[in-house]
Amino acid sequence: MVVRLIDFQPNRGNMPYKDPKKNKESKDNWAKRQVLLNPNYQRERWLKCVYGLSLDTYTKMLHQQNGVCAICGECPPIPKGRKSSLFVDHDHKTGSLRGLLCHKCNIWLAALESVEWAQKATVYLTQHAKSAEPW
């Protein structure tokens, strides 16, 4: 049996293992280590990638709003493993951040941003408020 030196070298950055399973294991182990070293790793990465926001800035925004939704003022229950249950609200056209919202307000605000949809919804509700006919 011939033993090659490369079989004993650890994976260094972009030098892949010959076995694809080892590449996946190495990547998975790296991600797990990051989470163990920093429990907020995934949250920090998500905020930075999607909104360009650091976890510190998010926390400051959360404190400025006293930990409640910027619209309804409610404090929704915090899911296990998270520090907050408030979502980052941003303008989809400009990308500018506006505040932190609960899930309900975030969904409603997204719907209201479409003026055409809001007008159609108003017409629909007005029509059905006048006629109280059951199905």
Output the domain CATH number for residue 55.
3.40.1800
Assign residue 128 a region (left: φ > 0; alpha: ψ between -120 and 50; beta: otherwise).
alpha
Residue 99 lies in a domain: yes
Question: Distance (Å, rounded) from C-alpha 100 to C-alpha 59?
Answer: 10
Whether residue 125 lies inside any domain: the answer is no
Helix 41-51 / helix 55-64 crossing angle, nearest 10 deg = 90
Show the domain range for 28. 20-112
> Tens digit of pLDDT per residue, the chain (135 long)?
454 444 444 555 555 556 666 666 666 777 677 767 776 777 888 888 888 888 899 889 999 999 899 999 988 877 766 666 788 998 888 888 899 999 889 888 888 888 888 888 889 888 887 765 655
Cα–Cα nearest to 53, from 97, 102, 107:
97
Within a domain: 79 = yes
pTM of the model: 0.60
Residue 131 domain flag: no
- Domain tally for the chain? 1
